[in-house]
């Protein structure tokens, strides 16, 4: 991507920019959920969760409203994706599925061993003619329920998703993330000490897509024309750019509670020695080549397993473009290093306000200061609006399959977000 092309989405940062490490509270009486950044976990002391398969609507940045099926829980009704469940490795997990949908549905837990459904081994179901009806025992249509139990497997990230009429129900939104933490080490990705990350700097990127024609057909109870199916929306955590930048629980996205803005400070051996972690999951049907600018990422886990040899050799690797395959999960560590130590006084680089103040937005306002110095803002003409708060950096991060970086074909949307790097001393407003 050329640098100028990141400008327009960043103009839309203002919502995210007012949300810092400390959560703000939405003060209207009707909704008292805290806005925040980073991973939002559902946890339970008994590791018991209740999910309700139900329908609802999500909004897209171009003003569309999409009929979806996904999971609600006791705290929130319908949400996309399903609640992120966080559990501890080696301990029992119970997931009770209630089904409000007009057809049977189920949950499979890929990567978990010895899953039981209502106390029996979870296994494929067949009709009287011998045709497969579900990958595991389902909850019957219209208020059926089923209880799945298993012992949480090796530390890492897993999908949970429908095992019934999978092409259709997965497209409709029946998926979520399961984070398995190492026992006693909640701030490590896996059992290895070198997978430690900064507490609170943990992010889930659940990648998926929507073909709105499929959803319209299901809503109208009409046949789906799969031969003509084409995804038009591409999402991180159920949101498309620029909604990805909004905080968790943004009240204007009531059914899409999870943001995707990474917000970190530069690596510093003394004050900020540990990386952040991002957990990528692909709940879609094609590869998503996800590609953060500005920094490689270190892949430490794939599909819930640490990358190490039989004798514990470190097999993690640096990667610029993560090709996350359908059904796959990839956990990475990432930090941002000021390797060139740019400084306006001691190590300057030539920068200047561009002759064309804004090449995408017509008018006299712009956001771009052209300052190359983290924590230092260039002065800009007095008539310009500048959304950069304290000389922080923003790096775009997006699917490099560029049709996936669109909202129904309109560029600079879709599967895209930004990483925000604050100055080492922080941002006064944060
Ligand atoms: Cu790019």
Alpha-carbon distance of 45 to 276, in angstroms, equals: 26
Q: For residue 5, what pLDDT is reported? A: 30
* 35: in domain: no
How far is the centre of ligand 1, averaged over its atoms, from the C-alpha of 130 (Å)?
48
How far is the centre of ligand 1, averaged over its atoms, from the C-alpha of 402 (Å)?
9
Residue 371 has pLDDT above 50, yes or no: yes
Query: Per-residue confidence at 75, pLDDT binned at 50, 70, 90?
Result: confident
Instruction: Residue 70: give the domain boundaries.
Output: 48-334
280, 315, 334 - which closes a domain: 334
Residue 338 has pLDDT above 50, yes or no: yes
As a whole number of Å, the CA-based R_g of the chain is 22
Same domain? For 115 and 245 the reply is yes
Cβ proximity of 280 and 205 under 8 Å:
yes
Same domain? For 164 and 276 the reply is yes
Cβ proximity of 213 and 229 under 8 Å:
yes
The pLDDT of 377-395, averaged and rounded, is 77
Query: Per-residue confidence at 381, pLDDT binned at 50, 70, 90?
Result: low
Q: For residue 389, what pLDDT is reported? A: 85
The pLDDT of 123-140, averaged and rounded, is 97
Same domain? For 197 and 289 the reply is yes
Q: How many independent structural domains does the chain possess?
A: 2
pTM of this structure: 0.89
Alpha-carbon distance of 141 to 51, in angstroms, equals: 15
* 399: in domain: yes
Peptide bond into 187 cis (omega under 30): no
Alpha-carbon distance of 380 to 25, in angstroms, equals: 33
Alpha-carbon distance of 178 to 41, in angstroms, equals: 9
3-state SS, residue 93: strand
How far is the centre of ligand 1, averaged over its atoms, from the C-alpha of 291 (Å)?
6
How far is the centre of ligand 1, averaged over its atoms, from the C-alpha of 363 (Å)?
26
In residues, how long is the chain?
430
The pLDDT of 289-313, averaged and rounded, is 94
CATH number at residue 209: 2.60.40.420
Residues 6+ apart with CB under 8 A from 155: 89, 180, 181, 182, 188, 189, 190, 191, 301, 304, 306
Residue 428 has pLDDT above 80, yes or no: no
β-partners of residue 243 are none
Q: For residue 4, what pLDDT is reported? A: 28
Residue 386 has pLDDT above 90, yes or no: no
- For the segment 83-111, what is each residue's pLDDT rounded down to a tens digit? 999 999 999 999 999 999 999 999 999 99
Residue 128 has pLDDT above 60, yes or no: yes
How far is the centre of ligand 1, averaged over its atoms, from the C-alpha of 286 (Å)?
19
Residue 206 has pLDDT above 60, yes or no: yes
How far is the centre of ligand 1, averaged over its atoms, from the C-alpha of 360 (Å)?
18
Strands (DSSP E) contained in 211-348 are: 233-236, 262-264, 276-282, 288-292, 297-302, 305-306, 317-319, 322-324, 329-334
How far is the centre of ligand 1, averaged over its atoms, from the C-alpha of 241 (Å)?
14
* 14: in domain: no
How far is the centre of ligand 1, averaged over its atoms, from the C-alpha of 401 (Å)?
9
Same domain? For 136 and 271 the reply is yes
pLDDT top residue among 33 and 320? 320
Phi, psi of 260 (to 5 degrees): -145, 35
* 356: in domain: no
* 393: in domain: yes
Peptide bond into 81 cis (omega under 30): yes
The pLDDT of 119-144, averaged and rounded, is 97
């Amino acid at each position: 991507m050329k640098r100028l092309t990141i400008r327009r989405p960043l103009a839309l940062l203002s919502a995210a920019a007012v949300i810092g490490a400390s959560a703000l509270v939405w003060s209207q009486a009707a909704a008292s959920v805290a806005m925040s950044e980073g991973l939002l976990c559902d946890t339970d002391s008994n590791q018991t969760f209740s999910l309700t398969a139900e329908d609802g609507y999500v909004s897209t940045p171009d003003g569309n409203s999409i009929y979806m099926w996904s999971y609600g829980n006791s705290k929130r009704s319908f949400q996309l994706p399903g609640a992120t469940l966080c559990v501890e490795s080696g301990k029992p997990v119970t997931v009770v599925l209630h089904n409000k949908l007009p057809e049977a549905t189920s949950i499979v837990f890929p990567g978990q061993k010895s899953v039981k459904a209502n106390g029996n081994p979870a296994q494929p179901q067949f009709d009287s003619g011998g045709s497969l009806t579900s990958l595991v025992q389902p909850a019957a249509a219209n208020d059926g329920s089923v209880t799945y139990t298993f012992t949480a497997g090796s530390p890492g990230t897993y999908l949970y998703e429908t095992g019934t009429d999978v092409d259709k129900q997965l497209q409709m939104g029946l998926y979520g993330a399961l984070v398995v933490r190492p026992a006693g080490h909640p701030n490590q990705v896996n059992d290895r000490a070198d997978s430690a990350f900064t507490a609170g700097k943990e992010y889930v990127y659940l990648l998926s897509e929507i073909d709105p024609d499929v959803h319209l057909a299901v809503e109208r109870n009409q046949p789906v024309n799969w031969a003509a199916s084409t995804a038009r929306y591409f999402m991180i955590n159920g949101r498309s750019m620029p909604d990805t930048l909004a905080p968790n629980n943004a009240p204007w996205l009531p059914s899409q509670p999870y943001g995707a803005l990474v917000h970190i400070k530069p690596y510093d051996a003394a004050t900020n020695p540990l990386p952040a972690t991002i957990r990528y999951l692909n709940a879609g049907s094609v590869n998503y080549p996800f590609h953060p600018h500005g920094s490689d990422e270190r892949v430490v886990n794939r599909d819930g397993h640490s990358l190490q040899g039989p004798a514990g050799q470190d097999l993690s690797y640096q990667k610029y473009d993560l090709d996350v395959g359908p059904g796959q999960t990839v956990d990475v560590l990432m930090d941002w290093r000021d390797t060139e130590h740019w400084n306006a006084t001691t190590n300057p680089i030539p920068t200047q306000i561009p002759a064309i103040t804004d090449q995408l937005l017509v008018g006299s306002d712009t956001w771009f200061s052209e300052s190359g110095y983290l924590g230092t803002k260039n002065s800009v003409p007095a008539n310009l609006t500048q959304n950069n708060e304290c000389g922080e950096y923003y790096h775009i991060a997006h699917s490099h399959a560029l049709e996936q970086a669109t909202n129904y074909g309109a560029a600079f949307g879709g599967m895209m977000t930004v990483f925000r790097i604050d100055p080492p001393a922080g941002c006064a407003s944060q």
